[in-house]
Amino acid sequence: MPEQALSHLKVVDLTHHVAGPFCTKLMAGFGADVIKVEKPRTGDALRHVGPFYKNIAGMESSIPFLWLNTGKRSITVNLAAEQGREILTKLIRNADILIENFAPGGMGALRSYFRFAP
């Protein structure tokens, strides 16, 4: 298989709902290694939005979620726990791109937990 345009990039995906996941879906489609980070137990809010495959609601059957997250790897991380923040820090440190779509100030609140040099 020929190398794709973005196959040299690793992307950490902290997006949710539609706009952010669509952006990272496009990146994955062009070959980027996209790692989607979700909350434990509930995951991305879009997992709970229909329509659902075979009309059976469930976290693994939301058609919009499945379509927007094709080609991505995923991990659940509890950002309220120290271990979760350490995992996210390592992911970001090894990534080329971080994409998030938190409300204004959301990423700033998380940034204080990251273990990076200023």
Sketch out the chain's domains with CATH numbers: 10-111 (3.40.50.10540)
Give the Cβ contact number of residue 2 at 10 Å: 5
Counted residue by residue, the chain has a size of 118
At CA 45, angle to CA 78 and CA 34, rounded to 5? 65
Report whether pLDDT(100) > 50: yes
| Single-letter code of the amino acid located at 40 | P
For residue 55, what pLDDT is reported? 95
Helix or strand (DSSP H, E) at 36: strand 33-38
For residue 118, what pLDDT is reported? 46
Q: Quote the CA–CA distance of 100 and 8 in Å, as a whole number.
A: 20
For residue 115, what pLDDT is reported? 56
Report whether pLDDT(16) > 60: yes
Report whether pLDDT(114) > 80: no
- Reported confidence tier of residue 74, pLDDT bands at 50, 70, 90: very high
Q: What is the pTM of this model?
A: 0.89
For 75-79, the CB contacts below 8 A with 24+ separation are 75/35, 75/36, 75/37, 75/38, 76/37, 76/38, 76/39, 76/40, 76/41, 76/43, 77/37, 77/38, 77/39, 77/40, 78/39, 78/40, 79/39, 79/110, 79/113
